[in-house]
């Protein structure tokens, strides 16, 4: 947990999943934890790098894994980079059951927006003013929901508290833009990713092996 929170974003999803069973773990969960430890043992030389040059602009990525948990809840994932340096990430179950992938993505977008606003204020307090926060999302329907104030049949049931993101968008505090799924860096915080793709995405996030550029 300490490594995942501090310097190893590649552990976020796996540690988040097994943490749900801390109270009553079963043999299956013990095996999952052993698998995580074996992964760590084989990948001890990963380091999270921070750049001290380039732009100081906050950019986010938000994603969701639809109904991929045993209780049919979806998983939210997001991350934020300051320039090219990863400074914040999250992987966790959503508190409500989403009835569509767009709804799951919408809930993840709200969580990402809240984190982005907090980070923006912190960075501004440190002397680096920020403009509108750009958050990249790979679901077009979700982006439309953040802009459209109308409630349709498929979205009437969405809790009012989540529509705060529309206010953020209207006030130009946050802006969601589309990015292809292949370029969605928050993907690793929503589900298991094949090894080759995982290594590529980790490089993009700044988590590299010792000696790599």
Residue-level pLDDT at 154: 56
Taking only the tens place, the pLDDT of each residue in 180-199 is 999 999 999 999 898 889 99
Answer yes or no: is pLDDT of 75 > 90.
yes
Structural contact between residues 13 and 191, judged by C-beta atoms closer than 8 angstroms = yes
Concatenated DSSP letters for 102-150? HHHHHHHHHHHHHHHHHHHHHHHHTT----SEEEEES-HHHHHHHH---
Q: How many CA atoms lie within 13 A of 111 on its CB side?
A: 25
Residue-level pLDDT at 153: 53
Residue-level pLDDT at 125: 96
95: pLDDT confidence band, cut at 50, 70 and 90?
A: confident
Backbone angles phi and psi of 137, in degrees to 5: -135, 140
CA distance 124 to 94: 29
Taking only the tens place, the pLDDT of each residue in 8-33 is 999 999 999 999 899 989 999 999 99
Residue-level pLDDT at 171: 92
Residue-level pLDDT at 173: 94
Taking only the tens place, the pLDDT of each residue in 115-169 is 999 999 999 999 999 999 999 999 998 998 888 755 555 555 565 566 788 889 9
Residue-level pLDDT at 213: 57
Backbone angles phi and psi of 48, in degrees to 5: -90, 120
CA distance 45 to 209: 5
Residue-level pLDDT at 70: 73
Domains of the chain: residue spans and CATH = 50-206 (3.30.420.10)
Q: How far is CA 80 from CA 27, 77, 128, 203, in A?
A: 35, 11, 16, 15
**Looking up tokens 């090894």, which residue turns up?**
195
Taking only the tens place, the pLDDT of each residue in 30-74 is 999 999 999 999 999 999 999 888 889 999 999 999 988 777 889
Residue-level pLDDT at 149: 58
Answer yes or no: is pLDDT of 98 > 60.
yes
């Amino acid at each position: 947990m300490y490594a995942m929170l501090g310097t190893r974003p590649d552990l976020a999803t796996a540690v988040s999943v097994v943490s749900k069973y801390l109270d009553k773990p079963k043999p299956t969960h013990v095996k999952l934890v052993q698998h995580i430890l074996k992964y760590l043992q084989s990948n001890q030389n990963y380091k999270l790098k921070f750049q001290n040059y380039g732009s100081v602009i906050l950019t986010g990525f938000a994603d969701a894994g639809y109904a991929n948990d045993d209780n049919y809840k979806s998983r939210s994932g997001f991350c934020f980079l300051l320039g090219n340096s990863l400074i914040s990430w999250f992987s966790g179950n959503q508190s409500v059951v989403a009835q569509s992938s767009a709804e799951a993505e919408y809930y993840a977008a709200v969580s990402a927006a809240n984190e982005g606003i907090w980070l923006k204020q912190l960075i501004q307090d440190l002397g680096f003013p920020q403009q509108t926060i750009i958050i990249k999302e790979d679901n077009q329907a979700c982006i439309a929901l953040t802009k459209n104030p109308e409630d349709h049949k498929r979205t009437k049931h969405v809790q009012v508290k989540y529509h705060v993101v529309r206010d953020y968008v209207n006030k130009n505090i946050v802006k969601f833009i589309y990015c292809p799924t292949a370029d969605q860096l928050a993907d690793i915080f929503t589900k298991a990713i094949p090894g080759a793709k995982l290594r590529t995405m980790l490089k993009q996030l700044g988590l590299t092996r010792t000696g790599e550029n």
